[in-house]
Amino acid sequence: MGSKPDQERLSPAALAAALKQQALLLGFAPVGLGVAEPDERMQLRTAALQRWLAAGHHASMDWMADPRRAEIQRLLPGVRSLLAVGLNYNVAAIRTPGRPAIARYGWGRDYHRVIDSRLRQLGRWLEQQAPEVRWRACVDSAPLLDKAWAEQAGLGWIGKHANLIHPRRGSWFLIGHLLTTLELPADAPAEPLCGRCSRCIDACPTGAITEPFVVDARRCIAFHTIESREPQLPPAISTAMAPWVAGCDICQDVCPWNDQDLPVSSDPDLQPRAWMLDLQPEEALQWSDDDWDERLRASALRRIKPWMWRRNLRAMLRLGTPGPAS
């Protein structure tokens, strides 16, 4: 299929505006465009990643050392621009006080599937406008320095808790990127607005935020409840984790940028499963593998295997844990 005649083709500025509009129609917000060329800021972000890895802060997450993370051209040869998108997961639902807690990002459908599917729709739309274009959809499972590129595209700044923050949307949004070989006008990079605030650092019960912008996964409740395959949680984690059994939102809960009237999502894909808001720990501890499979179908929390789910619940209830075979 050939390119559209020149008189029918949108200018780069018009195409950029139309692309953003299409992203908004798909439920993304905020959205922003960046130049896929590592400037001084991105070089500093890449150097910070290397220091973080060298310090062992990634724990067992060896995929964080994938060399493609520092070289965006290896993800899409010829990439010139990227569209960064946010998916708001700030829903109206509230967890029952005193119940075991699941991080909000895991309440709805698997965000990897949701964001990837919508980005692919966006890529196909882009092909209709410029048939010669090549593109690639990226969610956080791709080896992309995603938060740094989102910051470059003006989506928000990386806070001291290492989450992206938007001045009017807070940090309750997931991010994705559409890499493209088209050259499109970029938005201004976001500037950090955390100032002297240290609420997230002070609130972390395990001291995982060892200094501003540096999170040591070895001390992080979210890492241990979701990523760690160890048969038992470290005592420092198990004694501090309550009520968290799947992820942790403490550093975002205390952020002043989330203490404002934020947009609330009505997106069906982001709405919580009722049992997650009123989790009965003793009952959940007795789930069979089939029960777990049914409850967590199409959920990002499937990364937590059944034996890990029981391990986390037992640790929160201070029952100890027999290990993977339980």
DSSP letter for each residue of 144-176: S-HHHHHHHTTS-EE-TTSSEEBTTTBT-EEEE
Structure tokens, 142: 């791709």
Do 247 and 306 belong to one domain?
A: yes
Listing DSSP states for 62-115 in one string gives GGGG-GGGG-GGGTSTT--EEEEEEEE---S--PPTTS-EE-GGGSSS-HHHHH
Q: What is the pLDDT of residues 79-115, one digit of tens each?
A: 999 999 999 999 999 999 999 999 999 999 999 999 9
DSSP SS3 for 211: strand
Count of CB atoms within 10 A of residue 164's CB? 24
Residue 321's pLDDT band (cuts 50, 70, 90): very low
Closest CA to 313 of 109, 59, 304, 207: 304
Q: What is the pLDDT of residues 129-181, one digit of tens each?
A: 999 999 999 999 999 999 999 999 999 999 999 999 999 999 999 999 999 99
CA distance 166 to 192: 10
Do 168 and 212 belong to one domain?
A: no
Exactly one of 140, 253, 267, 291 is catalytic; which is it?
A: 140
Would residue 140 show up in a list of annotated catalytic residues for this protein? Answer: yes
Do 121 and 217 belong to one domain?
A: no
- Tell me the average pLDDT across 119-134: 97
Do 256 and 129 belong to one domain?
A: no
What is the pLDDT at residue 232?
Answer: 96
Tokens 């960046």 belong to which residue? 34
Q: What is the pLDDT of residues 44-63, one digit of tens each?
A: 999 999 999 999 999 999 99
Task: Tell me how many helices (H) and strands (E) the chain has.
Answer: 12, 10
Do 170 and 231 belong to one domain?
A: no
pTM for the model stands at 0.93
Q: What is the pLDDT of residues 28-48, one digit of tens each?
A: 999 999 999 989 999 999 999
How many domains does the chain contain in total?
2
What is the pLDDT at residue 319?
Answer: 72
Residue 190 falls inside a structural domain: no
Do 17 and 158 belong to one domain?
A: yes
Round the average pLDDT of the chain to a whole number and report it: 95
Do 131 and 24 belong to one domain?
A: yes
Do 235 and 171 belong to one domain?
A: no
Count of CB atoms within 10 A of residue 87's CB? 24
Report the percentage of the chain scoring pLDDT > 70.
Answer: 96
Closest CA to 115 of 202, 26, 53, 51: 26
Q: Is the pLDDT of residue 1 over 90?
A: no
Quick one: how far is CA 192 from the chain centroid? Answer: 19
Q: Is the pLDDT of residue 295 over 80?
A: yes
Any idea what the CATH number is for the domain that residue 124 is in?
A: 3.40.109
Final residue of a domain: which of 180, 213, 243? 180
Range of the domain at 58: 6-92+109-180
Do 28 and 153 belong to one domain?
A: yes
Residue 2's pLDDT band (cuts 50, 70, 90): very low
What Cα–Cα distance (Å) separates residue 17 from each residue in 8, 26, 73, 287?
Answer: 16, 14, 24, 49
Residue 208 falls inside a structural domain: yes
Point out which residues pair with 174 in neighbouring strands.
87
Tokens 């994705």 belong to which residue? 176
Do 153 and 250 belong to one domain?
A: no
Q: What is the pLDDT of residues 12-28, one digit of tens each?
A: 999 999 999 999 999 99
